[in-house]
Structure 1
Amino acid sequence: MNAVTSNSSSVYQAGAAAQAATSQGVARTQRAAFIIMVAILVAAPLLGVYPVFMMKVMCFALFACAFNLMLGYVGLLSFGHAMFFGGAAYVSAHAAKVWGLTPELAILLGTLSAGVLGWVVGLLAIRRQGIYFAMITLALAQMIFFFSLQAPFTGGEDGIQGVPRGKLFGLIDLSNPTAMYIFVAVIFLAGFLFIRRVVYSPFGQVLQAIRENEPRAISLGYDADKFKHIAFVISAALAGLAGSTKALVFQLASLTDVHWSMSGEVVLMTLLGGLGTIFGPVIGATVIVTMQNYLAELGAWVTVIQGAIFVVCVLLFRRGIIGELGALLKKSL
């Protein structure tokens, strides 16, 4: 009996040691990838890359990472995430231009508004799954779109233009491109690290358990709807943070930000980069924004090219760019 107990204990310890070694290996790999990403962000302006382009990439990368938290780690496909991204952009733009709030307060207000909207939408949608959840979020997003079109303070089809960047904490003038670039980079990196922390926390592990087998998670005593609702609010708030930041970068909040096509773009970014990976949405957003920027002269053909790339990705790279790269290197990215 003692021998059996001793053997079981040895097997458990060996399994725990192997799991710990794997976790440390994943942490080292992701730490190296993060350092490379930071180095690219630092070097890009020095190498002549247009700062506004890089800031746009960072805003959309944060948006895609927020969306990936829902789809990649909870398994909920939202067709309405543009309502949080664009809604927060309108709130921040209005707060900065009309109310004269400083940029950090305008962004904070936009992020909070997106979180509150996410809480309300989550109450209505989170109890549904699959196509029903997706359609509810799409319908509610269209309501926000028409509200943004008709409301007197949103500027209608013209949007809110000429949004002042202002002075950060009343001291740092964000009209300086370098200061604005550093500010956006700090927001993006902080949001990225926060998402990673959520994913690898006990809370994130429960989310993944719900994604894999919700009935079993419920049988273990977890309130699945509560966990999904919290994740939805976090995702909405981070999407709002991205939208608020973008409004200050481009000094504009427009209907494009709340249009259903924006929700479609973030789905494409996530799937292209790698669903359920940490760095996948960043790569996917970079690819899509780069195409939009450098192929803009092709007009409507950009959409056709994006569609073709999406089809190729689905057929040949089902795990996305980072997913396939991670599988090739046998590393978790």
Structure 2
Amino acid sequence: MIMSRLARAGRGGPLLLALGLFAALVLPWMIYPPVALDIACWALFAAAVDLLLGFTGLLSFGHAAFWGGSAYCTGLIALHTGLPFPVAIVGGAAFAALLALPIGFLSVRLSGIYFAMVTLAFAQMTYFVANQWRDVTGGENGLQGIPRELFGLDLSDSFSFYYAGLPFVLVGLFVAWRIVRSPFGRVLVSIRANPDRARALGYPVDRYRLLAFVLSAALSGMAGGVFAMGHGFASLEGVYWTTSGQAVMMVILGGIGTLWGGAIGAALVVQLQDFLATAGFAETGIITGSIFIVVVLLFRRGIWGTARHLLASRRKAAAPGEVAAEPRKSVDTPA
């Protein structure tokens, strides 16, 4: 019954949204709250990357600049202004969007590996600036002791802050969902499928790609801001290129172009890393990399993409029986 309802719900039906909301609300009751917050933040980050990769066809290895850059900006606002933490998170997301404008303007004219390498280069430039500008970013020490001010409320407990930061993640996921279901999102899919045909139809491809890039960066920045607030620090690791690579891995694990698959990939990777770190296993990359290879080989569409494909196949297989039953009912029923 649940399987068939999920199949009818499609990519983003109300039932799927309700199940996702329920899972987000009960998550800190089931696992360690800081890990739950990490899953939520990485889920939004993966959705932002999938917005660009799965729906626009652009693979970016530079999104660490927006995740980490927003974390630094959020921390600086909270440390030096004393404003409530929601203002700091929104400021960090705005900074990420502004940072994405020149990077995207210079990058979206490229595609494929060239786009990936250019965004990677910009991310490494951001990393170099964060490392050298020690008076502002703290250099290798980063920003520490970021406060969680909200009109005198005590949010020092990680369990309490999870529910304070969760609305930002949910709003970001909802924005991503609305984007892919809007006419703008359908244009992005057509650009991904055939940019030349989209140009022939009169769509300014580069402009659409730039807007998608900026929106993706803003959502990544919102995720990075919540992450920095949740942990109370911003570090160089956030702007390093491996952060982008991890988000891309989550998207591929869950399923490219599914949007929700990134949340599944985030839960899998974060939970596995936490389990291995708790067990004292230092080389977590060996295990996560091995699982990544197995999933890619066995589930070509990713975990959620494969599940959705199987549900759709089952629905198609059941459809002829339902159609065949209709005439029989009309014959047995008197006119």
Aligned counterpart for 1:38 among listed residues 21, 30, 37:
21
Instruction: Report the counterpart of residue 159 of structure 1 in structure 2.
Output: 142
Instruction: Report the counterpart of residue 264 of structure 2 in structure 1.
Output: 283
Distance (whole Å) between structure 2 residues aligned to residue 113 and residue 174 of structure 1: 25
Are positions 1:146 and 2:107 aligned together?
no
Aligned counterpart for 1:305 among listed residues 265, 269, 287:
287
The percent identity for this pair of structures is 44
Instruction: Report the counterpart of residue 11 of structure 1 in structure 2.
Output: none
Instruction: Report the counterpart of residue 104 of structure 2 in structure 1.
Output: 122
Partner of 1:295: helix, strand, or coil? helix
Cα contact 1:55–1:249 (8 A) shared by 2? yes
Aligned AA (1:194):
V
Aligned AA (1:130):
G
Instruction: Report the counterpart of residue 164 of structure 2 in structure 1.
Output: 183
Instruction: Give the CA deviation at 1:301.
Output: 2.6
Structure 1: runs of 5 or more not aligned: 1-23
Distance (whole Å) between structure 2 residues aligned to residue 68 and residue 239 of structure 1: 11
Runs of 4+ in 1 over 4 A off after TM superposition: none
Distance (whole Å) between structure 1 residues aligned to residue 32 and residue 200 of structure 2: 53
Distance (whole Å) between structure 1 residues aligned to residue 305 and residue 10 of structure 2: 16
Cα contact 1:272–1:313 (8 A) shared by 2? yes
Shift of the 314–45 alpha-carbon distance from structure 1 to 2, 3 Å rule, reads closer
> Over aligned residues, Cα RMSD in angstroms?
1.7
Instruction: Give the CA deviation at 1:31.
Output: 1.8
Matches within 5 A, 1:1-333: 25-26=8-9, 30-47=13-30, 49-151=31-133, 152-167=135-150, 170=151, 172-296=153-277, 297-330=279-312
TM-score (norm 1): 0.88
Aligned AA (1:304):
I
Partner of 1:261: helix, strand, or coil? helix
Instruction: Give the CA deviation at 1:315.
Output: 1.3
Distance (whole Å) between structure 2 residues aligned to residue 283 and residue 308 of structure 1: 17
Shift of the 129–268 alpha-carbon distance from structure 1 to 2, 3 Å rule, reads same
Cα contact 2:9–2:15 (8 A) shared by 1? no
Aligned AA (2:193):
E
Distance (whole Å) between structure 2 residues aligned to residue 42 and residue 221 of structure 1: 44
Distance (whole Å) between structure 1 residues aligned to residue 100 and residue 128 of structure 2: 18
Partner of 1:247: helix, strand, or coil? helix
Aligned AA (2:106):
L
Partner of 1:315: helix, strand, or coil? helix
Cα contact 1:72–1:277 (8 A) shared by 2? yes
Deviations 1:314-333 (A, max 9, x none): 211110000010011118xx
Cα contact 1:166–1:175 (8 A) shared by 2? no
Partner of 1:275: helix, strand, or coil? coil
Distance (whole Å) between structure 1 residues aligned to residue 168 and residue 181 of structure 2: 20
Distance (whole Å) between structure 2 residues aligned to residue 72 and residue 163 of structure 1: 34
Structure 2: runs of 5 or more not aligned: 1-6, 314-335
Q: How many residues align?
A: 306
Distance (whole Å) between structure 2 residues aligned to residue 25 and residue 237 of structure 1: 31
Distance (whole Å) between structure 1 residues aligned to residue 285 and residue 262 of structure 2: 19
Instruction: Give the CA deviation at 1:138.
Output: 0.4
Deviations 1:229-265 (A, max 9, x none): 0000000000000001101000010011011110110
Indicate the larger mover: 63-72 or 179-188.
Answer: 179-188
Deviations 1:84-103 (A, max 9, x none): 00000001011111232220
Partner of 1:132: helix, strand, or coil? helix
